[in-house]
Amino acid sequence: MRRTLQEKLAILSDAAKYDASCASSGTTRRDSRAGGIGSAGGSGICHAYTPDGRCISLLKILMTNFCIYDCVYCVNRVSSRVERARFTPEEVVTLTLEFYRRNYIEGLFLSSGIIRSPDDTMTDMVRIARMLREEHGFKGYIHLKTIPEAAPELITEAGRYADRLSINVELPKDDSVARLAPQKQPKGIRAAMSHVRETRAASKVASHRGKRPARFAPAGQSTQMIVGADGTSDRDILGTSTRLYQGYKLKRVYYSAFSPIPDSSAMLPLIRPPLIREHRLYQADWLMRFYGFDAAEITSSTKGGNLDLEIDPKLAWALEHRAQFPVDVARAPRELLLRIPGFGTRTVQRILAARRSGPLRYADLIRIGARVKQAEPFITLPDWSPGALTDSAGLRARYAPPPEQLSLFA
Amino acid sequence: MIQIDLPVLGRAKAWREAARCLASHGIAPEEVDWQGGTLFGGDPIPDADGPRDLRVPKSFVQLSGSVICHTDPEAPALLYQALWRHQNDRRSLGNPADPLTRRLDRLAKAVGRDIHKMHAFVRFREFPTDGARRRFAAWFEPDHRIVEAATPFFARRFADMDWIIATPFGTARFSDGQLDFDLPGPRPDLPEDASEVLWTTYFTHIFNPARVKVGAMKSEMPVKYWKNLPETRSIPAMLQDAEARVQRMRDALPTEPPKRAARIAAMPATLDQTRAVAETCSGCDLCAPRRMVWGEGPTDAPLMIVGEAPGDHEDQQARPFVGPAGQLLRAAMAEAGCPPAYLTNAVKHFKFSQRGKQRLHQSPTRGEIDHCRWWLDQERRLIRPRLTVALGVSAAFALTGRRAALTSRRGTLEPAIRGGDVLITWHPAAILRARSRSEEMRAELAADLSRAAGLAKERMAAQGVRGATSL
């Protein structure tokens, strides 16, 4: 029985929803005024939001959910009984272009189960990207999920057509990969990420005659880790992220709370996805990338190496380092302002601009958009001093949600 | 009091010109009424710019362009106040804590967000057309007067199609590369668009029912936009079903893996391992009673030659192509100067009917070939030959999936089901059986093999040691 395009789309988008990334920003600026269709560059656009609160920026589908691998956390593993389907390359191209023309999406995020061999699968994916770019002059965004076991030549070719390449490290530790994704080789995954990094670096260097090499994944590479499927602590996860950011120049590390999948394996916990933990990891990730924290600082004061689920990691750090507070907002350098709970990067930028016109008062901070209630115990202003509040024993209780009353009837 | 009526379209330019004129005449903000439209009218604006020099920072030009789109009736006056103040006070405009600056920033931010949401939430529907350019149209209801500011984005993005975006604040038309604006009209009738069904399918299925966060959705996709977003109609049903879907997932856990899983998961990494697994195969009736005849030859052979099935001799020796037909093939290969080749069969077991003491060869059925194809594919996957040769119609069917008669296909290259291509030629046993044409057919076999040898060598030279795609 042949499936209709709609049935295939249902199956293959169902299969793709466990990939967290949907970013479409930060690629080269281009548009279709000189021919073709589409534009990209600058910040991406989220065209819709599903009730899980996640944005739809790209058409995120699998080319096929047939797979020869047996990764226990994955709904598409060979031993799962999910329905299977396969798009032809032409179908993927048509869907992408027709959705794009109606302004539903920014482009395509193509991933795939592994059929026949990694090379074969990667060849088909590259073919889809090539058709979009060369036959249809598509200028929108393309994200290809790279198969690490595929030949390096294929990955190089993929980077010529794609804006972003990603290779999932899957799990934060090698022994978890060995246990839960037996056919995947952490070494091979890292080798592929190095290959992308090096090819990308080489693509930016002009020759001595000024000739620029072919473009390669201008929006960089990213990866994804599943959180909560194994016992790894947040400290180890953030350590792994740091190594990934530094070692492979990744643009983003995505954390995906392990959610129960249809037809799950008996090896996995049957829990609610640890959404708060995922959120805290993203906050910690942000602190590392934009606030000058390093992973060790964030996790130094944690219990058992895991982030506090009740309060955010920046506040948790501040509560453990009260000797450094209160900070004088009128004088503190940028780095110190960024460490104040309730002050974001935008707020700090505005404070620095406003300081040039004179001292800032409490009301000014509110007007600027700082979360002053949150920041109060950690700052001094001409018209505000926290007094003993900074060192008071009950300070944490001010932020942490009250303990939930247990139900008598539960 | 000077009264100024700003037009619906071209508002930003009209405000700039008016503000420049007023400020250059030294007319204070208190003397200007920007809301216009009062019954008695006011004093007219001076005809030409006045004598005063104006100072306007670059950032203010951009700020005013945004703020003027805002529907807040005070927006033009606030902008003029800021411009007026800047002539004597150079700092406040750069101070985020200044109340007027902050207010203007907020207005600009609201407009920026509205533009961003327009870029996100316009949904085109296609109009049928006979022309070369496809035609689309959309209805969108922004909060502010952003048609002119927001639509150049669509002109850059959708340059190869004609489109109309109609809004309560004006209509943007893009045809043949030219963007024009019209005064607001009634909401147009848009045709049904079949792609909306697909889009809604995608929207429903990319949703993960295990992580419902309605608040996050509504803050980014406010409900006021929903009436023009086709996909949002399925949200109530999605939410209603979410909890039950997750529960069904939990209840259904864990399940027995499907039969094929063990086979695929145990997919061996080497040819020897594959052979060991194949020995345990019980895919069809041929498997059990007879011994398996596996392929033979170098594991990195550039050429793979596939026959139909082992015969009597092959079955007894458990080696492929050792009977009379095999001898003919080997002779023809030597004659053609074939590189080292891997020899195997589409089906790995001997099929026969017993007649007294004689075992008479029978061709495998389609089902048997289908069952055994798995092993053939594994051999091709692991050996990665540059070219595969199919001997006879059974091998051709196993490799290409086509059962057409051989006469018209012999000597041609056909794509294989699993990638790569296949050269089709006679089976040597057919040559032995053919009486009148056997010499001719033997020559054809030799010619085909010699072509195959040439192609394999050529590809080896072109692709280096490791061929990425050609199976």
- For the CA atoms of chain A, what is the radius of gyration? 24
**Tens digits of per-residue pLDDT, B214-233?**
999 999 999 999 999 999 99
Q: Are A324 and A314 a contacting pair, CB within 8 Å?
A: no
pLDDT at A265: 64
Which chain B residues contact residue A5 at CB under 8 A? 198
Contacting B residues, span 161-180, partner chain A, CB-CB under 8 Å: 161, 177
Which chain B residues contact residue A265 at CB under 8 A? 254
3-state secondary structure of B176: coil
- Measured in angstroms, the CA of B207 and the nearest CA of chain A are apart by 6
Nearest residue in chain A measured CA to CA from B235: A51
Whether residue B29 is predicted with pLDDT greater than 80 in this model: the reply is yes
pLDDT at B469: 39
| pLDDT-based confidence at residue B465 (cuts at 50, 70, 90) | very low
Sequence length of chain A is 410
Which pair of tokens denotes residue B67? 């703020």
The reply to whether B211 touches chain A by the CB within 8 Å rule is: yes
What separation, in Å, do the N-terminal and C-terminal C-alpha atoms of chain A show?
49
Which chain A residues contact residue B124 at CB under 8 A? 101-103
* Cα–Cα distance measured from residue A30 to residue B157, given in angstroms and rounded to the nearest whole number: 9
Interface probe for A, chosen from B124, B126, B197, B199 (most Cβ of A below 10 Å), is B199
A146-173: burial string, b at 16+ Cβ within 10 Å, e else: bbbbbbebbbbbbbbbbbbbbbbbbbbb
Which chain A residues contact residue B237 at CB under 8 A? none
Domains of chain A, first to last: 5-221 (3.20.20), 319-399 (no CATH)
**Tens digits of per-residue pLDDT, B424-438?**
999 999 998 888 888
Q: Are B470 and B463 a contacting pair, CB within 8 Å?
A: yes
Identify the residue whose tokens are 């190496």: A305
Give the range with max mean pLDDT: B293-302, B365-374, B388-397: B388-397
pLDDT at A396: 86
Burial of residue A7 (number of CB atoms within 10 Å: 0-12, 13-18, 19+)? middle
Instruction: Give the closest of B123, B202, B246 to A59, CB-based.
Output: B202
Burial of residue B393 (number of CB atoms within 10 Å: 0-12, 13-18, 19+)? buried
Chain CA centroid to CA B309, Å = 41
Partners of B309 in the β-ladder: none
* Cα–Cα distance measured from residue A248 to residue A168, given in angstroms and rounded to the nearest whole number: 13
Whether residue B354 is predicted with pLDDT greater than 60 in this model: the reply is yes
Q: How far is CA B171 from CA A47, B142, B184, B224, in A?
A: 21, 12, 6, 20
Chain CA centroid to CA B52, Å = 59
Q: In one letter, which amino acid is A108?
A: L
The low-confidence residues of chain A, meaning pLDDT below 70, are 1, 260, 262-273, 402-410
pLDDT at A205: 83
Which chain A residues contact residue B254 at CB under 8 A? 263-266
Say yes or no for a CB contact (<8 Å) between B419 and A120.
yes
pLDDT at A230: 82
3-state secondary structure of A225: strand
Percent of chain B at pLDDT above 70? 92
Domains of chain B, first to last: 2-118 (no CATH), 122-182 (no CATH), 195-251 (no CATH), 270-463 (3.40.470.10)
User: What is the average pLDDT score of chain B?
Assistant: 88
Say yes or no for a CB contact (<8 Å) between A116 and B377.
yes
pLDDT at B436: 84
Whether residue B317 is predicted with pLDDT greater than 90 in this model: the reply is no
B299-331: burial string, b at 16+ Cβ within 10 Å, e else: eebbbbbbbbbbbebbbeeebbbbbebbebbbe
Tell me the mean pLDDT in the region B338-367.
86
Give the pairing of strands B358-361 and B32-33.
Answer: unpaired
**Tens digits of per-residue pLDDT, B94-127?**
898 899 999 999 999 999 999 999 999 999 999 9
**Tens digits of per-residue pLDDT, A368-386?**
889 999 999 999 999 999 8
Chain CA centroid to CA A243, Å = 16
